[in-house]
């Protein structure tokens, strides 16, 4: 390990081989950090926080601070972070509350850009990108390979599906289905994320199928349940279609509408 003399590391913290801790960083009592994680200067890691291997934390990152929730009373809630993530300057991750599973989760291979915020009880998947100043309210779920543009903000309890792409300066008040693009002052759907899907190896047949499902559900049928019924009648099933339909039918906040 390489720990700068000015860093404050609790003797109770668990640091694995290869961990680097930069100047003036602070690591609390209940923190565990995996191999080869690089912690830059002025980073604060506190609370009951577990960080996996090969993560990179840039200056002024804050992880494990108490949730911004008026009902929080100092309970031992947690943060769990996977491997190979990048946390750029001033990104913040709050611990969970007792209102869900007591934990905030960030998976692996994610990129959190400058000043992005992950609120309490959020669950972030893998290969997610949060651009500069993205704000996730409490209890937000973000699926694998989703991308959120700069200065976008997600309301509490919103779900953002896998491979979704959210533009910049977007307010997200309802669920964004997987595979879709959303943009606008208040998020509206603009069809499947075709470029992102191609880049991630989805076949032309799958993309065309998702385009047809989008057209039926969002453009041709005014009521979601009727659109879903039409899709099931008119289209052959394939795994991505079933994921899309299951996401829609399980929504509690409602699904974003099309432009």
Closest by Cα among 205, 196, 198 to 238: 205
Chain centroid to Cα 184, Å, comes to: 20
Q: Are 184 and 152 in contact (CB under 8 A)?
A: no
| DSSP category for residue 218 | I
Contacts 24+ apart (CB under 8 A), 127-130: 130/91
Map tokens 């998702």 to a residue: 210
Which residues share a beta bridge with 148?
Answer: 130, 166
Let me know how long the chain is. Answer: 259
Q: Are 102 and 49 in contact (CB under 8 A)?
A: no
Closest by Cα among 139, 99, 93, 137 to 112: 93
Distance CA 15, CA 34 (A): 7
Q: What is the DSSP string of 93-127?
A: EE---TTTTSEEEE-SS-EE-TT-EE-TT-EE-SS
Strands 165-166 and 171-172: unpaired
For residue 228, how many C-alpha atoms fall within 13 Å in the half-sphere facing its CB? 13
Catalytically active residues, by annotation: 120-121, 138
Strands 8-9 and 26-27: parallel
């Amino acid at each position: 390990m390489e720990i700068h003399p000015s860093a404050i590391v609790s003797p109770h913290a668990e640091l694995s081989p290869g961990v680097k801790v930069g100047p003036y960083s602070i690591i609390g009592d209940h923190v565990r950090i995996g191999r080869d994680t690089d912690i830059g200067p002025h980073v604060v890691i506190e609370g009951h926080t577990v960080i996996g291997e090969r993560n990179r934390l840039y200056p002024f990152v804050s992880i494990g601070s108490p949730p911004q929730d008026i009902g929080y009373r100092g309970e031992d809630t947690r943060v769990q972070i996977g491997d190979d993530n990048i946390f750029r300057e001033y990104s913040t991750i709050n611990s969970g509350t007792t209102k869900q599973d007591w934990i905030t989760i960030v998976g692996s291979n994610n990129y959190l850009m400058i000043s992005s915020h992950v609120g309490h009880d959020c669950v972030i998947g893998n290969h997610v990108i949060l651009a500069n100043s993205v704000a996730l309210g409490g209890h937000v779920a973000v699926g694998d390979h989703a991308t959120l543009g700069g200065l976008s903000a997600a309301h509490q309890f919103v779900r953002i599906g896998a491979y979704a792409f959210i533009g910049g300066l977007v307010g997200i008040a309802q669920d964004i289905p997987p595979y879709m693009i959303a943009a606008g002052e208040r998020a509206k759907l603009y069809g499947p994320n075709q470029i992102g899907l191609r880049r991630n190896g989805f076949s032309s047949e799958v993309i065309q199928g998702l385009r047809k499902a989008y057209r039926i559900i969002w453009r041709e049928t005014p009521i979601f349940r009727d659109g879903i019924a039409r899709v099931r009648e008119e289209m052959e099933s394939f795994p991505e279609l079933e994921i899309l339909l299951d996401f829609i039918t399980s929504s509690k906040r409602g699904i974003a509408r099309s432009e």
